[in-house]
Amino acid sequence: MDIEGSVALVTGGNRGIGRQFVDELLRRGASRVYAAVRRPERADVPGAHLLQVDITDPAAVTALAAAAPDVTLLVNNAGIATTTSLVTGDLDVIRQEMETHYFGTLSVVRAFAPVLRRNGGGAIVNVLSALSWFSYSGSNPYAAAKAAEWSLTNGVRLELAAQGTLVQGVHLGAADTELMPDYDGPKIDPLDVARASLDGLAREELEVLVDDWSRMIKASLAGDPREFYGPSLTLR
């Protein structure tokens, strides 16, 4: 995937990791970058073409694909994070996590798959999380939705290979964005996420593990869950 001269679209492109993708794509010579956001009238993204979308609204996603027929690189970054409980939390809130990360992402992929095919194949980047592979009290609905999105990424990668579309999954621990204002652990620069992903596209990498945390979490999957979760699994 050659970034220079490409036409990219980034969902959630007005802040956080999405904003860094937009800026880095422009720095690397993308000929056009669309920033797809919920409220374009409130967004300020110099150099980008602003488009409106709510990825949980199928009609809005269809309109987005029609408005950007020249896209060769799609970055699925839009997301939400709630702090509810899977067992006692509001089920509608939990569904919203899945509607956004799983069904919303899938809706965008389905809308842009024919666009990418017409434009030579191109690539899709799905911004995932180390939480695709573990759970953490307070983020369990997010983790479940990201696990589903990881599986989705693996599935559409297989289905789109025949049309020449590369599908990349990007995993990271905590990034210094508005999505994690109360997290007091170490956070990486969101620019590092964009750079690692785009560097990986140049090497046709299917999966990018941005930081040591995501690499450690994935490696832990081969072990006993008690070794990872420790006292959290102690029955009372």
Residue 67 within any structural domain of the chain:
yes
26 CB-side CA count, 13 A: 16
Amino acid at 52: Q
Q: Which tokens belong to 222?
A: 């081969």
Give the model's pLDDT for residue 65: 98
Q: How confident is the model at residue 183 (pLDDT cuts 50, 70, 90)?
A: low
Q: Total domain count for the chain?
A: 1
Quick: pLDDT tens for 96-141: 999 999 999 999 999 999 999 999 999 999 999 999 999 988 899 9
102 assigned to active site: no
Q: How confident is the model at residue 178 (pLDDT cuts 50, 70, 90)?
A: low
Q: Which of 34, 102, 136, 142 is catalytic?
A: 142
Quick: pLDDT tens for 195-226: 999 999 999 999 999 999 999 999 999 999 99
Residue 204 within any structural domain of the chain:
yes
Quick: pLDDT tens for 60-69: 999 999 999 9
How far, in Å, CA of 69 to CA of 20, rounded? 23
Residue 150 within any structural domain of the chain:
yes
Give the model's pLDDT for residue 182: 61
Q: What is the CATH number of the domain that holds 188?
A: 3.40.50.720
Residue scoring higher pLDDT (183 or 49): 49
Distances (CA, A) of 157 to 16, 168, 206, 215: 25, 8, 9, 21
Give the model's pLDDT for residue 185: 65
What is the domain extent for residue 40? 7-233
Residue 2 within any structural domain of the chain:
no
Give the model's pLDDT for residue 184: 62
Q: Helix/strand/coil (H, E, C) string of the chain? A: CCCCCCEEEEECCCCHHHHHHHHHHHHCCCCEEEEEECCHHHCCCCCCEEEECCCCCHHHHHHHHHHCCCCCEEEECCCCCCCCCCCCCCHHHHHHHHHHHHHHHHHHHHHHHHHHHHCCCCEEEEECCHHHCCCCCCCHHHHHHHHHHHHHHHHHHHHHHHHCCEEEEEECCCECCCCCCCCCCCCECHHHHHHHHHHHHHCCCCEEECCHHHHHHHHHCCCCHHHHHHHHHCCC
